[in-house]
Amino acid sequence: MKTYPLITEILQIVAVLILAPIFIGWIRMVKCWLQGRTSAGLFQPLRDIIKLFYKEVVLAENASWIFRFTPYLVFGVSVLAAAIIPILSTDLSLALTADAIVLVALFAIARFFTALAGMDIGTAFGGMGSSREMMIASLSEPAMLMAIFTVSLVAQSTSLAQIALVIGHGPFILRPSLAFALLAFVLIAIAENGRIPVDNPATHLELTMIHEAMILEYSGRHLALIEWASMMKLFLFASLGIVAFFPWGIGEGSLKDIPIAFVLLIAKLFIAGIVLVLIETGLAKMRIFRVPEFLGSAFLFATLGMLSYFILE
């Protein structure tokens, strides 16, 4: 076994684990600036996680092993996903483990268990969150697949490393198919990560909660793991977008690439954070039954991307 892929693999996992809370911190910071508030700093989410790890766990009386197992599983899935997506380098020892479709399914298994955990304690909130989350997921999945389909038409592959290589090395042309796919992907990423306008991660108002409703009963280290995993999920979706649409600069075969890749990654995430904040501050949260239209348009964009590939390219 070669050492290079292994080293980058480890570097990448560590980078994701640490950068994910900082990325959230960055998003919150920009949001604060835009809304004229003072921010708590870049490292506040990281401090929150550490604080939660030291807190006592309060379990509902009725909680079964599923409730206790879910945080570990969700975290495990996120770490595995962090090991698979070519964030710093396309040459990872686990890169072959999953292609884009498997990756979507990995997030699906985390969601499946989170939804079960929401049902486990037997409160109305948990059930409501699970029900809505699964509804949104089932509408975003076809759009996601369509976006993958479009990208795979261009790259002739669903393997993420291959997509990054093909698109990164190809001539720099504006492909309408990829532009549509990117638009679809952004909408999907917003829905999947429970951001405004689909869900509001900062709310605890009963009627607007989706993701928060499912994890309402979590506390202590369980909550820390879940929060950390959901930060990683946002980070990973951002990197997924980078891999598929802006892969320039991702390292390939040597350790020398890594520092450049790292700097470029930070720069890209810097922009991604600002774009996300602009979307979130510009829009109001929509009614739950408007979400199908939102995701329907994502599906439409992805389909348009596929059609424009066949017609224009």
Partner 1 sequence: MEKCWQEKGNYHTCYSGAINTNRHKIKMEFSPIILSSLSLLSLLFAAIVVPLVISSQRLLIAISFSLTAVASLLAVAAGCWVVGSGLINKLILPLGLPNLPFHLRLDPLSGFFLTVIGLLGFFVSIYSIGYVKGFLGKRSVTPLVIFYSLFMASMFLVVLADDAFFFLISWEVMALASYFLVMFEDEKTENRRAAFLYLVVAHVGAIAILLSFGVMAGLATGFETFNGYTFDAMREAKFSSGWATVAFFLAFFGFAAKAGVVPLHVWLPEAHPVAPSNVSALMSGVMLKTAIYGIIRITFDLIHVFPWWWGAIVLFLGLISTVMGVLYALMQHDLKRLLAYHSVENIGIILIGIGLAMIFTSFNLPILAALALIAGLYHTLNHAMFKGLLFMGAGAVLHATKERNMEEMGGLIHKMPWTAALFLIGCISISALPPFNGFVSEWLTFQAFLLTPALPNALLNLLIPLGAALLALAAALAAACFVKAYGVTFLGHWRGHHNPPSAPPFMKGGKGGVEVDWFMRIGMILPAIACLGLGVFPTFFIQWMDIIPEQLLGSKIAASAGAFGWMWLTPVSHERASYSGFIVFLGILSVVAVVYLLLHTRRTAVRRAPIWDCGFGKLTNRMQYTATSFSMPIRRIFGFLFNIKEQVRITPPVPPFNKGGGGGLHYHLRVRDRFWNLFYQPVADASFWVSRQFGRLQQGRIHIYLVYSFITIIVLLVFLR
Select 86 or 273, whichever has its Cβ closest to partner 1: 86
Determine, following the binding rule CB under 8 A, whether residue 208 of this chain makes contact with partner 1.
no
210 binds partner 1 per the rule CB under 8 A: no
Cβ of residue 218: shortest distance to partner 1, in angstroms? 12
Q: How far is the CB of 292 from partner 1 (least distance, A)?
A: 5
207 binds partner 1 (CB under 8 A): no
Residue 153, class by beta-carbon neighbours within 10 Å (0-12 exposed, 13-18 middle, 19+ buried)?
Answer: middle
Report CA 91 to chain centroid distance, whole Å. 21
Size of the site for partner 1 (CB under 8 A): 80
Q: CB under 8 A: which stretch of 35-43, 69-77, 169-177, 267-275 binds partner 1?
A: 69-77
3-class secondary structure, 89: strand
The one among 72, 203, 245, 286 contacting partner 1 by CB under 8 A: 72
Q: Is 97 in the site for partner 1 (CB under 8 A)?
A: yes
The full length of the chain comes to: 313
Q: Is 115 in the site for partner 1 (CB under 8 A)?
A: yes
Per CB under 8 A, which of residues 255..294 are in contact with partner 1? 288-289, 292
Give how far Cα 71 sits from Cα of 93, 199, 292, Å.
26, 21, 28
Which residue, 244 or 269, is less far from partner 1 as judged by CB?
244
The position carrying tokens 């409160």 is 123
* Per-residue x/- track, 121-160, partner 1 (CB under 8 A): xxxx-xxx-xxx-xx-xxxxxxxxxx--x--xx--xxxx-
Between the alpha carbon of residue 132 and those of residues 112, 116, 135, 269, the distances in Å are 12, 13, 5, 29
Q: Which residue among 120, 199, 257, 280 contacts partner 1 (CB under 8 A)?
A: 120
Collapsing DSSP to helix, strand or coil, 75 comes out as helix
Write the single-letter amino acid at 242. I
Place of tokens 């075969």: 253
Stretch that binds partner 1, among 23-31, 97-105, 177-185, 243-251 (CB under 8 A): 97-105
C-alpha 23/C-alpha 163 separation (Å) is 24
Residue closer to partner 1 (CB basis): 115 or 186 = 115
What are the structure tokens assigned to 54, written together?
A: 């030291």
